[in-house]
């Protein structure tokens, strides 16, 4: 039983929280759309404040943002009698708004069909020389490992350690030895993975109202939790209601537990952001808060918890994307992100007769410039914590 003194203290804390929220609402009343966003954020903070003073275990309601990322990888391929085999690896470093960083290392094997012959040279992601090479990947199998470290410096050191060649240190030059001494100081040992997965993908052709063209159908299995995610990604019309403002890439994914019980349904759209009309109709209301430009991309992601009672069947949700988007905004979780994005690389591929080979190197970089979350109160709220971390 709580003592009178502790009860009185809690009452004072309640009053302080409510008074603080009242002040925030008073200040927010002098604004329009931005004020509503502040009010919605204040409601969330009030719920968290009351949770704290009641002594509960209060979990942070929002996940950290990815404020920047950079990755690089190589792919090699060979062709013999129209059969194409390929393999590759990719390393991605994600810097998060909470100061931590994740490292994701992926490997994949591809099987496909190649036709025609010729060659091409790619520089900076663009074809410099081309001679009608055609290839269609039919299937791919891959796996990945995820690590979480304290900062970006450790993440970069970890990538180097994971890719360290098996060379006798006695053959190191003084400069190479100093480099590895710095790596060891930043990351003395490789940490245990925080995630491991494997996936299978296949290319299919679709013709539909929302997704179409060459599409990827896949399944990803989390080896630690047993959860499986089935997904379909393709070129997409991102305004299924009728008025087309944007097109880009769409992805729908269903996650189930190890017993195949539905857990989460997600919908992700992304595309270039050269102008405000590149945004889907569902987020045109925030166009004034999003700065478009060359090399800028946008991403809209929504999630719906399928464990809640009264949810429509997955099929009914999927066949009505407009209703799904609305439900995600009203009763789920939606976020909008915009990034400065760059892609670079170099590749060489040639084929003669029935034989061919190829090598590709690619780099990607992203930096967060806009971060908004949609609240159940119906407002898009800026994620100032993410924007400050990205600055």
What does the pLDDT look like over 4-32, one tens digit per residue? 444 444 444 444 444 443 333 333 333 33
Closest-CA residue to 263 (of 222, 304, 300, 313): 304
pLDDT of residue 54: 52
Confidence (pTM): 0.74
Residue whose pair of structure tokens reads 């939790």 in the numeric block = 225
**φ, ψ (nearest 5 deg) of residue 364:** -135, 145
- pLDDT at position 335 over 60: yes
pLDDT of residue 354: 81
Write the Ramachandran bin of 226: left for phi over 0, alpha for psi from -120 to 50, otherwise beta. Answer: left
User: What does the domain layout of the chain look like in residue ranges?
Assistant: 4-53, 66-390
Distance CA(213)–CA(121), nearest Å, equals 26
Which residues sit opposite 75 in a β-bridge? 88, 360
Q: Looking only at Cα atoms, what is the longest distance across the chain?
A: 89
* pLDDT, tens only, 202-246: 886 655 555 556 688 899 999 999 999 999 887 765 554 444 445
Helix-then-strand count for the chain, H and E: 7, 15
Residue 314 pLDDT grade (very low, low, confident, very high; cuts 50, 70, 90): confident
Are 331 and 312 within 8 A, CB to CB?
A: no
- pLDDT at position 152 over 50: yes
* pLDDT, tens only, 163-193: 888 888 888 899 999 999 999 999 999 999 9
Q: Where are the alpha helices (DSSP H) in the chain?
A: 4-28, 33-53, 152-162, 174-186, 314-318, 321-331, 384-390
Closest-CA residue to 104 (of 164, 158, 184): 158
- Mean per-residue pLDDT over the chain, rounded: 77
Q: What CA dihedral angle connects 221, 222, 225 and 230, to 10 degrees?
A: -40
* pLDDT, tens only, 316-334: 777 776 777 778 877 888 8
Distance CA(79)–CA(83), nearest Å, equals 6
Of the two residues 59 and 196, the one the predictor is more confident about is: 196
**If you write DSSP's letter for every residue of 106-155 in order, what string do you get?**
EEEEEEEEEES-EEEEEETTEEEEE---EEEEEEEEEEEEEEEESSHHHH
Residue whose pair of structure tokens reads 């002594």 in the numeric block = 55
Sign of the Cα torsion 57, 63, 69, 72 reads positive
């Amino acid at each position: 039983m709580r003592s009178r003194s502790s009860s009185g203290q809690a009452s004072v804390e309640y009053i302080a929280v409510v008074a603080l929220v009242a002040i925030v609402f008073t200040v927010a009343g002098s604004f329009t759309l931005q004020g509503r966003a502040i009010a919605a954020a204040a409601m969330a903070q009030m719920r968290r404040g009351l949770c704290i003073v009641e002594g509960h275990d209060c979990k942070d309601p929002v996940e950290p943002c990815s404020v920047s990322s950079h990755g690089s990888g190589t792919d090699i391929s060979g062709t013999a009698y129209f059969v194409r085999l390929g393999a590759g690896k990719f390393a991605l470093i994600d810097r998060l708004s909470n100061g931590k960083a994740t490292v994701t290392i992926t490997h994949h094997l591809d099987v496909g069909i190649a036709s025609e012959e010729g060659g091409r040279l790619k520089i900076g992601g663009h074809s410099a020389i081309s001679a009608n090479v055609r290839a269609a990947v039919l299937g791919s199998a891959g796996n990945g490992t995820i690590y979480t470290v304290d900062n970006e410096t450790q993440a970069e050191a970890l990538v180097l350690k994971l890719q360290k060649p098996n060379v006798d240190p006695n053959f190191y030059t003084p400069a190479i030895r100093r480099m590895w001494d710095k790596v060891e100081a930043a990351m003395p040992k490789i940490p245990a993975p925080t995630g491991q997965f494997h996936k299978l993908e296949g290319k299919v052709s679709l013709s539909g109202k929302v997704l179409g063209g060459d599409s990827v159908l896949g399944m990803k299995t989390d080896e630690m939790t047993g959860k499986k995610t089935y997904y379909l990604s393709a070129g997409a019309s991102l305004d299924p209601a009728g008025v087309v403002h944007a097109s880009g890439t769409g992805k729908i994914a269903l996650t189930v537990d190890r017993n195949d019980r539905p857990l989460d349904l997600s919908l992700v759209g992304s595309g270039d952001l050269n102008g405000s009309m590149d945004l889907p109709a569902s987020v045109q209301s925030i166009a004034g808060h999003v700065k478009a430009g060359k090399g800028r991309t946008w991403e809209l992601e929504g999630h719906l918890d399928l464990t809640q009672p009264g949810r429509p069947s997955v099929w009914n949700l999927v066949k009505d994307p407009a209703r799904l988007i609305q439900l995600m905004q009203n009763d789920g979780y939606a976020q909008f992100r915009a990034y400065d994005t760059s892609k670079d690389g170099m590749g060489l591929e040639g084929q003669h007769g029935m034989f061919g080979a190829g090598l590709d190197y690619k780099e990607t970089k992203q930096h967060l410039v806009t971060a908004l979350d949609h609240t159940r109160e119906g407002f898009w709220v800026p994620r100032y914590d993410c924007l400050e971390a990205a600055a």
